[in-house]
Amino acid sequence: MATGSGQFPTMHAVSGFKLGTTSAGIKTQGRADLVVMEIPANATVAGLFTQNAFCAAPVTVCKQHLAIASPRYFITNTGNANAGNGPQGMADAIKSCQTMASATGAKTAQIMPFSTGVIGEPLPMDRLLAGIPDALANLSEHGWPEAAEGILTTDTRPKGASLKYSAGDAQVTITGISKGSGMIKPNMATMLGYVATDAQVDSELLHRALKLATNKSFNRITVDSDTSTNDCIMLVATGASDIVIDEPLFEEFVEQLTQVFIELAQAIICDGEGAGKFVSVVVEGAVDSAEALSVAYTIAESPLVKTALAASDPNWGRILAAIGRAGVNDLDVNQVQLSLNNVLIAENGARANSYSEEAGQQAMEPEDINILVALNRGQAAETVWTTDLTYEYVRINAEYRT
């Protein structure tokens, strides 16, 4: 199950950034599962990683390498998370970097490893390492579609976003892919995401742009409130366009980057495990952003709300209950208004006089649902995107290892 059209977009090549994909048989023979990405020597790279204390070995290695060297290659395997594997997991992550370095002439610290899949199982290193030459042989600036397929796990379809915009007398390209379907509440980024631009951006501005864009996109999605051990989002600026993003051009760059990030983040929600609904939870009139997000996430992560959404049941009492337990100090329930797809459901602490069950049922039928909560106590507003909770989600996760 998934929502939306799922159509993979036209992907504009980013000059200097190459991607190569192959099938190494890490979990399933014949399935694309190993992706390498080549980064120009003069590029800048920024990354954000999971906040989960039980982070996977490749996350630890990535953070160590990014702190001491300029990355030249990313290597990503699916089918195995290389998480919860202790010292052997670290040794395997480093070995993959060493093998990539030997094959490319780069230094080991210039390789960044990424893994996604089942936690707690040894990484099949013989198959992974044997696949590296084939992946390198497939490197191409036009390799985005194949790479988008190669990083998937329980996803039902690839996820990409790409745009060009004018900056001065030239155009800037921003292109990216992501993967994620379950174990989604990033708390920093998504499960895996790779975005590249041909603009020149220094390291400080690139990292700042990454954080700003992430906080309005990947940090606003949840499928099941579980933060993965392997989350990452990487941003590469190749500098090939000769457009320098300085302070005067920074705001526009962040706006365009955020658009790409939002498309990638929303694609994850559309493809959430078992998803039948794409749900926007909008909270406005909050005292501050933190308050708005607290209410939005409490609604978005409520199993009772999510199962009602799956049934297209306008059981609005579940939403009011979620609002009431979101920890809002001195909440005046008589000031709260609740609407579903523009149908006013509740106000003044009770069901709205204009509401009918027929109208509520009709509002819940579409695939896209907009839940609007007006707290009427301030000026802050935030939006969180989520899914419903279906039988299919339970089946996928019950059978994940079998």
Six-digit token pair at 4? Answer: 């939306």
- Per the annotation, the verdict on 190 as an active-site residue is yes
List beta partners, residue 259.
Answer: none
List beta partners, residue 19.
Answer: 37, 140
With residue 229 as reference, give the H or E element that holds it: none
How far is CA 378 from its chain centroid? 30
Give yes or no for a contact between 46 and 197, defined as CB atoms under 8 angstroms apart.
no
Give yes or no for a contact between 31 and 22, defined as CB atoms under 8 angstroms apart.
no
Q: Alpha-carbon distance 29 to 26, whole Å?
A: 7
Q: Alpha-carbon distance 77 to 32, whole Å?
A: 9
User: Considering 190, 197, 229, 387, which one is annotated as catalytic?
Assistant: 190
The angle subtended at Cα 41 by Cα 38 and Cα 45, nearest 5°, is 75
Q: For the beta carbon of residue 128, count every other beta carbon within 10 angstroms.
A: 25
- Work out the burial of residue 123: count CB atoms within 10 Å of its CB; fewer than 13 is exposed, 13-18 middle, 19 or more buried: buried
> Looking at the annotation, which residues are catalytic?
190
